[in-house]
Structure 1
């Protein structure tokens, strides 16, 4: 297995398609997240990210220019092509991709190809970055894509940060709900072990924890878990929408400094929540395509 020869990968960010950024921003801010100013990609998509300490973030992803995006998809831009395919199959609000950090995207691309998991050609691009205080910089990236053809509604890529803007993101990494980072990502599939090899390759580890409701692998800074539908219901009281085979990215578990304070903040916004053990759960809504789960550190 190629992943055994490399360092365990860190989680970089999560891609969450949205119908429009204004709706997503309103939803995230009501939940107590600080949302970055709008960013635009050179291939027709746009985002408004939510950053956390340690470098991870959420990427609510919108379509800024449909004509450009469709043209890019036709010429083989995997990022845009996968986004369009997801929206066609699953709707405008969802959770489409897990992105891992990388120091060498070219090596990752070769590894994915050798493992039979390549999702297409690499992508290099840059975009402007701006903080709420008005600091500006240019971020540049190189991406290597992976996917399993049995799971058309989820894909993965590694992200090598070629240029990181020298700006202060402290304000963007501070959230009124007390979230300090991403703890775990939950996917759902009827038989999780069918995707064990993919999970190992993405996380960059041989070590997999198999349990009665699924499998988990620890990336360098977060846990990746695939649960059965029964596991999702047992742990989080949620049911799968439909029963199509393949990985469906479903939930994100956040670490919060104080769960009761987080719950009080969300309640003041009038957003419905529920609890399961020591977890606060917010179900999907317009602008929020995944189940959000808050757990105390």
Structure 2
């Protein structure tokens, strides 16, 4: 079994409102800030086939809530944010379901903590308050904390894929790729190929094609990103998100660095220690 692909990266921020304002300046529509039961705050840019999640900490007293297999989501996020801002985890589309997919990946030898279910309050535009019901299959490798994932299953998808939230001034339709910087790439590649299938050589490293988006693992930055700044991280770690847009001219005013694959946003700090790039859909 192979997992379907990228659902949404989680970008950890010390100031979620500042992050929301920055991503709005790039042409994204952001959902109102919501709260998870383990103390993290959340705001999303909901795309047609994927999403971006901005995340902060609103209450450290809750970070040890809802332990699953020794994994505590809130504590993992708090500890990662204490280290630095940036992409902490990547959520994946479900195949059979969060729990079933997690168990299937465990059979492939990947660490699997178990199934985590939760609810959070949501108020789509023009509707009453409701509760999103979500199941997560946690696939976190303690040896690769920044190359870890979870399967995210929305049981009420209509509360997330809301037409008003999916209209973006930049025209973004989906996440085309996520890039890992990995000077020693073997462990990251082994993990990704176990989930998605073979890797192929690309300029600067390797790529693993999924049913939704590409994971790159790079050891050389310039062939893919040219003069664009690389986030300052100790790899392996996710450092870039490529957003597909139908018209690159719509983002040329904010994505001012031309790279071999698209237009990159120069301000990686305001993006949460992430290189945001727009590529042709």
TM over 0.5: yes
| Residue 291 (structure 1) aligns with | 275
Contact 1:78–1:119 (CA under 8 A) maintained in structure 2: no
| Residue 140 (structure 1) aligns with | 133
| Residue 3 (structure 1) aligns with | none
2:149 to 156, 168, 171: 156
Contact 2:46–2:160 (CA under 8 A) maintained in structure 1: no
**2:237 is the counterpart of 1:248:** yes
| Residue 219 (structure 1) aligns with | 210
- Once the two structures are TM-superposed, the CA of residue 118 in structure 1 deviates from its matched residue by 1.6
- Once the two structures are TM-superposed, the CA of residue 81 in structure 1 deviates from its matched residue by 2.7
Report the secondary structure of 2:105's partner residue.
helix
Contact 2:172–2:244 (CA under 8 A) maintained in structure 1: yes
Contact 2:132–2:159 (CA under 8 A) maintained in structure 1: no
Query: For the structure 1 residues 78 and 214, does the alpha-carbon distance in structure 2 shift closer, same or farther, using more than 3 Å as the test?
Result: farther
Query: For the structure 1 residues 189 and 282, does the alpha-carbon distance in structure 2 shift closer, same or farther, using more than 3 Å as the test?
Result: same
Contact 1:188–1:247 (CA under 8 A) maintained in structure 2: yes
Query: For the structure 1 residues 142 and 110, does the alpha-carbon distance in structure 2 shift closer, same or farther, using more than 3 Å as the test?
Result: same
| Residue 11 (structure 1) aligns with | 6
- Once the two structures are TM-superposed, the CA of residue 64 in structure 1 deviates from its matched residue by 1.4
Contact 1:49–1:60 (CA under 8 A) maintained in structure 2: yes
Quick one: higher RCO (CA 8 Å, sep 6+), 1 or 2? 1
Contact 2:231–2:275 (CA under 8 A) maintained in structure 1: no
Once residues 51 and 45 of structure 1 are traced to their aligned partners in structure 2, the CA distance between those partners, rounded to angstroms, is: 18
- Tell which deviates more after alignment, 42-51 or 97-106: 97-106
Contact 1:129–1:165 (CA under 8 A) maintained in structure 2: no
List alignment gaps of at least 5 residues for structure 1.
1-5, 267-271
1:32 to 20, 27, 36: 27
Query: Aligned pairs, how many?
Result: 278
| Residue 103 (structure 2) aligns with | 110
List alignment gaps of at least 5 residues for structure 2.
none
Contact 1:156–1:202 (CA under 8 A) maintained in structure 2: no
Query: For the structure 1 residues 25 and 121, does the alpha-carbon distance in structure 2 shift closer, same or farther, using more than 3 Å as the test?
Result: same
**2:53 is the counterpart of 1:46:** no
| Residue 263 (structure 2) aligns with | 280
- Once the two structures are TM-superposed, the CA of residue 29 in structure 1 deviates from its matched residue by 0.9
Contact 2:147–2:238 (CA under 8 A) maintained in structure 1: yes
TM-score, structure 2 normalization: 0.88
Contact 2:65–2:72 (CA under 8 A) maintained in structure 1: no
| Residue 259 (structure 1) aligns with | 248
TM-score, structure 1 normalization: 0.84
Q: What pairs with 1:227-242 in structure 2 (closer than 5 Å)? A: 227-228=218-219, 230=220, 232-236=221-225, 237-238=227-228, 240=230
| Residue 269 (structure 1) aligns with | none
- Once the two structures are TM-superposed, the CA of residue 74 in structure 1 deviates from its matched residue by 11
Q: Quote the RMSD (CA, aligned, Å).
A: 2.5
1:22 to 17, 25, 33: 17
